[in-house]
Amino acid sequence: MKSKAALVCLNALAHERRLILFRLLVRAGDVGMAVGELAEATAMAGASLTNHLNILRRAGLVEDERRGRVIQCRANYPQMNALLGFLTENCCAGSPGASCTTTSSCNTNRRAS
């Protein structure tokens, strides 16, 4: 994942309502949730919900599939992983052996080569 894409993902998650939406979907797993179910669960107005879902969709964090009249949404785990990867892989890249060795977020000093 490139810096720009990470920024889009971070931006998508950095909003109270969108973080709630994303977490609902993450917990819903493979089955996912319909837009209508999300609307009911969050009591959001339709237009507002669609806009937030679009931001999550553009970030690649949410995917969906039409099933008749219903649009079923799912969290995109690989994209979620890519974001976490971006945040950890680039950590301390310029200074292996620094204090981040003691943290779990930095993998500089754990790489094979």
Partner DNA sequence: CAAATATTTCTATTATTCTAGAAATATGAA
Partner DNA sequence: TTCATATTTCTAGAATAATAGAAATATTTG
Which residues are at the interface with DNA (CB under 7 A)?
Answer: 11, 15, 17, 34-36, 39, 44-55, 64, 66, 68-72
Of the candidate residues 58, 105, 109, 110, the single one contacting its own copies (CB under 8 A): 105
Q: Are 104 and 87 in contact (CB under 8 A)?
A: no
Stretch near its own copies under the rule CB under 8 A, chosen from 34-42, 44-52, 61-69, 73-81:
73-81
Q: Which CB, 19 or 45, lies closer to its own copies?
A: 19
CA 103, CA 109: separation in Å to the nearest integer? 10
**C-alpha–C-alpha distance, residues 97 and 78, integer Å:** 29
**Within 17-46, which residues bind its own copies (CB under 8 A)?**
19, 23, 26-30
Task: Give the nearer residue to DNA in terms of CB position, either 36 or 107.
Answer: 36
Contact present, 50 and 35 (Cβ < 8 Å): yes
Contact flag: residue 16 with its own copies (CB under 8 A): yes
Residues in Cβ contact with 40 at an 8 Å cutoff, skipping those fewer than 6 apart: none
Q: Which of 1, 6, 44, 55 binds its own copies (CB under 8 A)?
A: 6
Q: What's the sign of the alpha-carbon dihedral 23, 27, 32, 36?
A: negative
